[in-house]
Amino acid sequence: MNRPRIARPLTLMALVALTVSGCVLLWWWWWLPALARLAAEPVTQSVWIEHGPPLTVGGVVDQWRGVPVRYNGAPYTRSWGRHHAADGFYYGQKWQCVEFIKRFYHDCLGHTFPNAMGHAAEFFDSRVPHGTLNLRRGLLQYANGGNVPPALDDIMVWTTNGFGHVAIVSKVDYGFIEVVQQNIGIRTRAQLTISVRDGKYHVGGQGRLGAPAGWLRLGKSRFKSRLDGKFTYMSKNVTAFSPTQ
């Protein structure tokens, strides 16, 4: 008489295989929606203007007024050597955030910083009174929360996160401004809220950086055109948004 077969318990290897398969399925279930959202993000987050392999160090990921924004890779504290203009002006360390704003101001606006050294946080000097000249940078300095709003091409300065951060104002609109920046991955553009309370302009934060300390501006603007057809501005003595007809 044959005895009925009794199912043997799963072997250790089978249990391991099932566990690994479950982990893989769980990983894909968790990450596939996130990857799909990333793929669906608008290209305005990063405008590729060069052909070739993406995300190569030094590769162009965006541009502002014809000045390229280049990819620095990770970590953000890494740099790739000193970078100088043809006339010897020191742009900064490749491809840090400071390097881009100095390169933009030198190449596009013709401004040579009296003192071109220092981390991003050092571009805003808390000892300089609001609306007066920052002698080290040769630019007017305005504090966040003061009576002067940001304008196109201003340098936004964050003094947080140890080294700080700098970016260029690329758009001004009702309720927000846009900045273009380097060494923040491929998210070269960011929108910051702006509100007005009692005649004071308050610019909101950008992630862990928080709110900027303020912004720097050339005393005389080279660009006096409309901003997206909604605003006029001057680089000097701007006291309020000025909607145009």
- pLDDT, tens digit, for every residue of 202-236? 999 988 889 999 999 998 644 333 333 333 333 33
Domains of the chain by start residue, with CATH: 60-243 (3.90.1720.10)
Exposed, middle or buried: residue 12 (CB in 10 Å: 0-12, 13-18, 19+)?
A: exposed
Angle at 71 between CA 70 and CA 74, to 5 degrees: 150
Question: Is the confidence at residue 46, as pLDDT, over 70?
Answer: no
235: which DSSP letter?
S
Is a pLDDT exceeding 90 seen at residue 188?
yes
Q: Which of 20, 64, 28, 72 is nearest to 185 (CA)?
A: 72
Is the confidence at residue 181, as pLDDT, over 90?
A: yes
Residues 6+ positions from 82 with CB-CB distance below 8 Å: 90, 92, 93, 94
H helix intervals, the chain: 12-39, 97-107
